[in-house]
């Protein structure tokens, strides 16, 4: 058994993929990608979990290696955007790297939360490589019945 060095796709294939992403994005919408996130070389994969309790929505995102100063969280309406950068550590090593899977670079995820949130009360914390964002639910609007009066 021998170790085979990983060779990323050639520039022609990378450009073809970008062209397909752009074409499909213009056809189906900008959120559609022609390749799954793990197959793309121009974006960092950031797995996300979205859960819900009676009081809030909770988003958890794995971003190991990022610093809290490099992460920005913003909220507009029912959309949450998390963006940042995972910077590559520069180390001097002797010899060749035989296997490398860790990803470095910029990342951005925008999620639509399935309900209204109180944007002013959103909290985010970063512990042990996991970003956790708490999105308190907004008060539900009550339905009001309006009596229709007869005009004079």
Domain that holds residue 109: 44-88+101-139
| Whether the predicted pLDDT of 118 surpasses 80 | yes
With 0-12 CB in 10 A as exposed, 13-18 as middle and 19+ as buried, what is 144? exposed
* Same domain, residue pair 68 and 84: yes
* Same domain, residue pair 58 and 28: no
* Same domain, residue pair 52 and 114: yes
Instruction: List pLDDT tens digits, range 86-113.
Output: 877 666 666 777 766 667 778 888 999 8
Count of domains forming the chain: 2
- For position 44, what pLDDT does the model report? 64
* Same domain, residue pair 58 and 18: no
* Same domain, residue pair 79 and 32: no
Instruction: List pLDDT tens digits, range 15-70.
Output: 777 777 777 766 555 444 444 444 444 556 788 999 998 889 999 999 888 888 98
Residue 126: phi and psi, rounded to 5, are -125, 115
* Same domain, residue pair 75 and 111: yes
Residue 146 lies in a domain: no
Residues in CB range of 132: below 8 A, 6 or more apart: 58, 59, 60, 124, 125, 126
Q: What is the CATH number of the domain that holds 133?
A: 2.60.40.790
Q: Encode 28-50: b = buried (16+ Cβ within 10 Å), e = exposed.
A: eeeeebbeeeeebeeebebeeeb
């Amino acid at each position: 058994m021998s170790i085979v060095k990983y060779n990323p796709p050639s520039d022609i294939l990378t450009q073809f993929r970008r062209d397909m992403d752009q074409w499909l994005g213009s056809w189906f919408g900008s959120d559609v990608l022609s390749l799954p996130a793990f197959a793309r070389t121009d974006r960092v994969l950031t797995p996300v979990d979205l859960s819900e309790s009676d009081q809030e929505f909770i988003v958890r995102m794995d971003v190991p290696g990022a610093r809290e100063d490099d992460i920005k969280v913003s909220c507009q309406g029912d959309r949450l955007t998390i963006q940042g950068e995972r910077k590559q550590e520069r180390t001097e090593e002797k010899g060749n790297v035989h296997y490398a899977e860790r990803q470095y670079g910029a990342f951005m995820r925008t999620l639509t939360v399935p309900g209204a949130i109180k944007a002013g009360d959103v909290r985010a914390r970063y512990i042990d490589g996991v970003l956790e964002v708490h999105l308190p639910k907004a008060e539900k609007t009550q339905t009001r019945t309006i009596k229709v009066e007869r005009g004079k």
